[in-house]
Amino acid sequence: MSRELEKTYSPKDLEGRLYKKWEKNKYFHAKADKSKKPFTIVMPPPNITGQLHMGHALDNTMQDILIRYKRMQGYSALWQPGTDHAAIATEVKVIDKLKKQGIQKSDLTREEFLKHAWDWKEEYGGRIVNQLKKLGSSADWDRERFTMDEGCSEAVKEVFIRLYEKGYIYKGSRIINWCPVCKTSISDAEVEHQEQAGHFWHIKYPIAGEEGKYVEIATTRPETMLGDTAVAVNPDDDRYKDLVGKMLILPIVNKEIPVVADAYVDKEFGTGCVKITPAHDPNDFEVGKRHHLPEINVMNDDATINENGGIYAGMDRYEARRAIVAKLDELGLLVRVEDHSHNVGTHDRCKSTVEPMVKPQWFVKMDELAKPAIEALKSGRLKFVPESFGKTYMHWLEGIRDWCISRQLWWGHRIPAYYCQECGEMTVAKDKPEKCPKCGCTHMVQDEDTLDTWFSSALWPFSTLGWPEKTEELDYFYPTDVLVTGYDIIFFWVIRMVFSALEQTGTEPFHTVLIHGLVRDSQGRKMSKSLGNGIDPLEVIDKYGADALRLTLMTGNAPGNDMRFYWERVEASRNFANKVWNASRFIMMNLGEEEIKEPDFKDLKPADQWILSRVNTLAKDVTENMDKYELGIAVQKVYDFIWEEFCDWYIELAKVRMYNREDPQMKADSALWTLKTVLTNALKLLHPYMPFLTEEIFCTLHPEEETIMLSDWPVYQEAWHFAKAEDAIEKLKVLVKGVRNLRAEMDVPPSRKASFYMVSEDEGLLEEYDRLKENYGHLFGAAAFAVQKDKAGVPDNAVSVVIPNAVVYVPLEDLVDMAKEKERLEKEKAKLQKELARSNGMLKNEKFLSKAPAAKVEEEKVKLEKYKQMMADVEERLAQIQ
């Protein structure tokens, strides 16, 4: 039979031990089993530079809940894990480590640097995986992948070549985001826009050939005027219609640039005249293309001014800005300077200000690739939970620009393009060509750039399953089912996975995207290093256990909504774990050694039928919530059932029978069977949320079972539906609460027993309460309980509790010591007499009534009425006693 639980619940003592057991027995491993339905989730790959934070904890807890749920439902449930090489982040870490050793990146060859990078990956790359294991993540670690492993790298090259051959990948000069610190291009998704205090510099651009005439432009970046190639006005702006086609003198540079008409210009903003610098602004770039304007890049890779900047060459961009503004002022061309707060693009990694630049890069042409991804959502084949995030997805896709995929880094997938050193011919191929296909030269050099990290992770749902090979896993587990991710990553990753999967596999990579919010601090602020308000999940686990953290993250959680982290809530979750542990321990201590057989359900007591019926309904409700991804609602129902209905009510009802086992009328075995059965089902429903706690209790309760995670998920059974018993126990609860409230109001000690008389004209109701009277002594101290149609035999001084269709009377002397109560009431009466005399005196005092504020007079009148009512109650109680 069952063993005993340890006296005290100690997550530290069991979590590590249980996780080793799970891994050793390969419970997380999913097989391509044709007799089962597959269910697949791919883990958003954390960076190998990563440290577990609350976002990871929430994201992975939600995935683990879904996987454990589906595993128990009998699916072959694969949670495919892996890590991302995180090109920029990792390269920065490696460079920092080398600097501490006195080594500069420039001192090394590419091959030497990559050796250091791989060493770093081996040393630190598994850190976050081990941290995810502490959280209880039941991912199939046997299948763990890395974005730069051999298989994923093969998939990257395959996709690159396919897209290139279809004309979707091209190399060209376009405006990109350039990080002057990391010295690489970055995607739009990696640019964070921050509100910063700046200025608007209003500058005169003289009109060529018209002495003393000029147009006024306003700019936040005067240094870029060195690369201006036009000034634009709105074609419908009557102020400037005569200017279109004329030439202006570009200050300082002293060259002529045209005035062009373009609808991009907002007539109402600024002066209505906009300087156009195609090489340093994405909108200006598009205007430049429409008007065939030259693109003049005036900056070096480190954001210093290049040779196109004339006398400012070599200056830092901000140094040049100050010098140019001073020169404009000297020339009388600076009109004024206004304070102006505006959004400034910064690199999300190094936080430096991004510089838009025209540079030759590799791009993915997005217009055709975006169309099937749009159709996937419109058709319903892809859905978001909550649905509203589909608008974000659609907005991004409908306005998508070509994707810059090249990065000027060494760590990452190197672009599979090779250049002939003789004739310059470019060849795109998986492997280095032996010779140039054009001139036959054997001197071929590979492109220096690597691919954007998101290019490889866009293939994650299928590359991790063996694509482009036709593997058994790919055939069985793909497409995957649900992607769980934060709302801040929709554009980064979700969109790229969808269009990549549709292009390469012909199907959506998943049918549902479950969006969660951010975990914020208790004040609602985003957790960040700068604020110092981050909470380390490992610290929470160490202090309270992984289960308490998981429950806290899911309690009150609604898809798409941010949540606040409170330590008090973690303590409440730990207290719940203690409650479950102690209740389970009590049950096991009473079970004994003999196996308890399932009773005939007709012979079950109403309380047994009630709790069976309640856990039965709970299984149905929780399953429905889980299927709708309402994970927070589901766990709240389980929590409420265990704490209130099972522990606070049913166990208390069952105790009466535990204490009277020799009485056959008590049917103690039925209660024990019910306790064990309901606890088993409640543990199963709780397991996806609190895996360690439930595993330890379940396997102690059922030593014949290997693990709870492979047990069957509870399903609704009509045989367990007892509507009549549910109604009866709900009525009992109303009675118990009413009597307990009465005793509390009268300050009756728990040890004092009393006689109770229930009076009702409803014979059926009386019969129901009579059947349950064995519980009343234990639940509210009943020495005797009579049910009757009238008040015959009920003492005149009995106090009453009104419940639906009945009144319960209790003789006053059973509740209180009459002599002491009389003495107490006499003292209360004397005190009230003084207050009444005082209040009556004030309200009859003309001086008080004429001088006191109306509010004060009204307040005294209210007090008088209250004292009168209190006096009436006291006198009535005294009359009852006498």
Residue ranges of the annotated binding site for ATP are 529
The amino acid that residue 139 corresponds to is A
- Report which of 691, 514, 720 is spatially closest to residue 619, judged by C-alpha positions: 720
- Report which of 707, 585, 592, 674 is spatially closest to residue 4, judged by C-alpha positions: 585
**Residue 657 CB partners (closer than 8 Å, separation 6+):** 605, 666, 667, 668, 671
Rg (CA), the chain: 38
- Report which of 498, 726, 660, 546 is spatially closest to residue 60, judged by C-alpha positions: 546
Distance CA 484, CA 79 (A): 11
Give the helix ranges, DSSP H, for 9-86.
Answer: 11-24, 54-72
Check residue 602 and report its DSSP letter.
G
Tell how strand 247-250 and strand 255-261 pair up.
antiparallel
User: What are the Cα distances from residue 668, in Å, to 671, 677, 771, 773?
Assistant: 5, 14, 16, 16
Phi, psi of 445 (to 5 degrees): -120, 135
Is residue 275 within 8 Å of 264, Cβ to Cβ?
no
854: which 2 tokens? 């109306």
460: which 2 tokens? 């994650």
Binning the chain into helix, strand and coil, the percentages to the nearest 5 are 50, 20, 35
- Report which of 619, 602, 387, 411 is spatially closest to residue 514, judged by C-alpha positions: 387
Distance CA 302, CA 657 (A): 81
- Report which of 732, 727, 878 is spatially closest to residue 816, judged by C-alpha positions: 878
- Report which of 685, 704, 718 is spatially closest to residue 72, judged by C-alpha positions: 685
**Residue 303 CB partners (closer than 8 Å, separation 6+):** 180, 316, 317, 355
Q: Could you tell me which residues are annotated as the binding site?
A: 529
Half-sphere exposure of 231 (CA within 13 A, CB side): 32
Check residue 438 and report its DSSP letter.
T
Distance CA 384, CA 421 (A): 50
Distance CA 638, CA 506 (A): 41
The amino acid that residue 712 corresponds to is D
**Residue 117 CB partners (closer than 8 Å, separation 6+):** 90, 91, 94, 410, 411
Is residue 613 within 8 Å of 720, Cβ to Cβ?
yes
Is residue 690 within 8 Å of 14, Cβ to Cβ?
no
Strand, coil or helix: what is 354? coil
Distance CA 435, CA 443 (A): 7
Distance CA 477, CA 461 (A): 10
Distance CA 814, CA 364 (A): 86
Region of 499 please: left (phi>0), alpha (psi -120 to 50) or beta: alpha
Count of C-beta atoms within a 10 Å radius of residue 245: 9
320: which 2 tokens? 């040049």
Distance CA 493, CA 84 (A): 12
